[in-house]
Amino acid sequence: MHEIKGDTYSERVISQTRLWLDGIPVHNHVDGECCSDFSCCNPEMYTDDFDQRKVIYNNTMISIIPRITNWYKYVIVPVV
């Protein structure tokens, strides 16, 4: 079983989104949030398209970076 890690909301969003990017959709029970495409609760919504997941991951990181310190530790995934 995969677990979302983090003490803060931002850390948990990053952890959840990284798991989802790696093909592991996990619901965030601490904050009550689904993963980016809601596939943690609706598996039929999961996309196998890794490039599409990278775009969604990058958009999530761009939106969360202003809220976290040491933001430079979190890598944006290149979209080729």
pLDDT at 41: 96
Q: Is residue 19 part of a domain?
A: yes
Phi, psi at 73, each rounded to 5°: -75, -15
Q: Is residue 21 part of a domain?
A: yes
Q: Is residue 50 part of a domain?
A: yes
pTM above 0.85, yes or no: no
**More confident of the two residues 27 and 57:** 27
Q: Is residue 14 part of a domain?
A: yes
Q: Is residue 1 part of a domain?
A: no
Q: Is residue 80 part of a domain?
A: no
Which of 16, 80, 72, 74 has its CA nearest to residue 54?
Answer: 80
Helix 50-64 vs helix 9-21: crossing angle, to nearest 10: 170
Number of domains present in the structure of the chain = 1
Alpha-carbon dihedral of residues 69, 74, 76, 77, nearest 10 degrees?
Answer: -170
Domain that holds residue 43: 9-69
The per-residue pLDDT for range 24-51, each reduced to its tens digit, is 999 999 999 999 889 999 999 998 888 8
Which of 59, 66, 29 has its CA nearest to residue 79?
Answer: 59
